[in-house]
Amino acid sequence: MDYGTGAIFGCPAHDQRDFEFAKKYNLNILKVVSNNSDNDELGEAYTGGGKIINSDFLNGLEIEQAKEKIIDFLEEKKIGKRKKLFRLKDWGISRQRYWGCPIPIIYLEDGSIKPVDKSELPVTLPNDIDLNSAGNPLENHPTWKITKDKSSGKKALRETDTLDTFVDSSWYFLRFCSPKCKSSPFEIDKVKYWMPVDQYVGGIEHAILHLLYSRFFSKGISQIDKNINISEPFKNLFTQGMVCHESYKDVKGDWLYPDEVEKINNKVAIKKTDKTKVLIGPPESMSKSKKNTIDPEIMIKQYGADAVRWFILSDSPPERDILWSDTGVSSSNKFLQKIWNLAFQVSIGKAKVASNKKDDEKLNVEINLIASRIDRAIDEFKFNVAIANFYESYKVLNNFLNKKIYNKCMSDNLIKIMKLMIPFAPHLAHECLEMLKCNSFNKWPFIDNKIKQKIAFAVQINGKTRDVLEIDNDLNENQVSQYVLNSLKVQRILKNKSVIKTIFIKNRIINYIIKI
């Protein structure tokens, strides 16, 4: 779908490439899926859902229903049958390039092929390589490929293709178990201890093949050596979303980089060099072939790595795609500046020395609760939720800064938040921790999960508020009723009264409807 030219589907109303092909050669474009419009003239291929039209016995059906009916029809006519196919393509592991791992194979003059003798492993790449030569640099090297078969002494040529990097990444997790082992790729005892990997994280485009090849390697190794039983290398898979950006084409149909385009508004753009019209494509995962990529170096120089990282993590849940936004990165940078300014003010003793213990305790509780939410969000891979709580922590700390808070209390709570921020904005967090004279950067902060947030909870009788209780957050109706029993105001009114109905709204009110 992503390369080549010409018609590929034969349904121009509902496939963009077929649509462009039909327009170019003035072919008829007949809609077979309704787009809820009476106008048969389409500006582009319609690829959404809808009911089937212009299709005889399929008319009026949804797309998936129509597919099933087509198969049923073919089976009834005995000209086809329903079947699911699972295809595993051959894995071409070789590449014609210099920077891969050399394939340890040699070719003898008689045409026979042999693996390199084990004593000659690893085969290393030459340093005196001409990367400007046409074709495969190793094939064009004057001497590297010329060798001898060790066992027979016969002349031989080395394989000049190198291994696809997928080969290395299909077993590197085994090497991670014993990275310093020099006598073998990995130590079996270490592999038995560490494997399988607890959590695999990867983009969906990468994870599919990588996961497949890793499982293939693991099963193969386990079959060869019965001491290793790792048929499944990963316990859990989490596929992160892709970073997306609009794509751009000039009038000739050539792809353009974002920095070659000047956007007038969301629908109109021109080419910077000659001011010609640019076609704006829909946001899709960044790829070099479509040139819809952003140079991270430029963004890092302008805003810093932490701001770029912060935006990516904050934009949406990690399993969803992210729509790249320069404005979003700028906003992230401004917030991180606020955090640094807050840390600076606390480090110079901006908070009052004269302490109000009640305010100190209130700050401790509020920050502990926020820290608990951040900690839980990290465990649950809800990084955007964690970042929302960092914004809340800044608001709380900044509000308390001008109250009678003991500076050590303010500093301790800010240090707790900064430690939690290390996975999100490591450079800023470390700098702030240094500024606050923290001695233990690599220790996760203590979070007291027994502390509950107190809220003001209204107790009503026949819709009229009779008492406001200070109770723990997130209590259910039965738990709230226990607090109500201790309210003298409420009990005096309810005494000898019959409760007809109870209305309970969590964290807000409980309303007793009684007979008057």
Task: Decide: 230 and 223 in contact? Cβ < 8 Å.
Answer: no
- 72 falls in which pLDDT band (50, 70, 90)? very high
- Higher-pLDDT residue of 257 and 316 is 257
- What is the CATH class of 244-315? mainly beta
Q: Give the rounded percent of residues in the chain with a pLDDT score beyond 90.
A: 40
> Secondary structure of 256-291 in the HEC alphabet?
ECHHHEEECCCCCEEECCCCCEEEECCCEECCCCCC
Residue intervals of the chain classified under CATH 2.20.28 are: 244-315
Phi-psi region of 289 (alpha: psi -120 to 50; beta: other; left: phi over 0): alpha
CA distance 54 to 36: 14
CA distance 54 to 13: 12
CA distance 223 to 21: 51
Residue intervals of the chain classified under CATH 1.10.730.10 are: 322-435
The letter for the amino acid at 449 is: N
DSSP per-residue string spanning 298-351? HHHHHH-HHHHHHHHHHHS-TTS-EE--HHHHHHHHHHHHHHHHHHHHHHTT-S
Residue 318: name the closest of 239, 386, 374, 245 by CA.
Answer: 239
Residue 213: name the closest of 173, 261, 186 by CA.
Answer: 173
Tokens representing 414?
């800010």
CA distance 365 to 108: 76
Residue 32: name the closest of 1, 10, 5 by CA.
Answer: 10
Please name the residues in contact with 453: beta carbons below 8 A apart, sequence gap of 6 or more.
365, 366, 369, 472, 473
The whole model's pTM is what? 0.58
Please name the residues in contact with 421: beta carbons below 8 A apart, sequence gap of 6 or more.
339, 390, 428, 429
- Residue 178: the pLDDT is 93
**What CATH fold (topology level) applies to the domain 322-435?**
Isoleucyl-tRNA Synthetase; Domain 1 (1.10.730)
Strand 243-245 to strand 322-323: parallel, antiparallel, or no bridges (unpaired)?
parallel
pLDDT one-digit tens code per residue, 198-240: 988 877 766 777 888 899 899 999 998 888 888 899 998 888 7
pLDDT one-digit tens code per residue, 413-438: 999 999 999 999 999 999 999 999 99
- Work out the average pLDDT over 124-137: 89
Buried b (16+ CB within 10 A) or exposed e, 55-74: beebeebeeeebeeeeeeee
Cα-to-chain-centroid distance, residue 487: 50
Max CA distance (Å), the chain: 110
Residue intervals of the chain classified under CATH 3.10.20.590 are: 454-514
Rounded to the nearest 10 degrees, how much is the dihedral formed by the CA atoms of 294, 300, 306, 311? -30
CA distance 460 to 467: 7
Residue with tokens 């497949």: 212
Task: Decide: 343 and 427 in contact? Cβ < 8 Å.
Answer: no
Q: Does domain 454-514 have CATH number 3.10.20.590?
A: yes
CA distance 459 to 464: 8
- Work out the average pLDDT over 74-91: 85
Q: Give the rounded percent of residues in the chain with a pLDDT score beyond 70.
A: 96
CA distance 276 to 290: 19
pLDDT one-digit tens code per residue, 297-317: 888 899 999 999 999 888 777
- Residue 388: the pLDDT is 93
CA distance 366 to 359: 10
Residue with tokens 């990097």: 165
**pLDDT(402) > 60:** yes
Average pLDDT of the chain to the nearest whole number: 87
**pLDDT(4) > 60:** no
- 367 falls in which pLDDT band (50, 70, 90)? very high
Tokens representing 245?
């950006």
Task: Decide: 12 and 45 in contact? Cβ < 8 Å.
Answer: yes
CA distance 102 to 125: 7
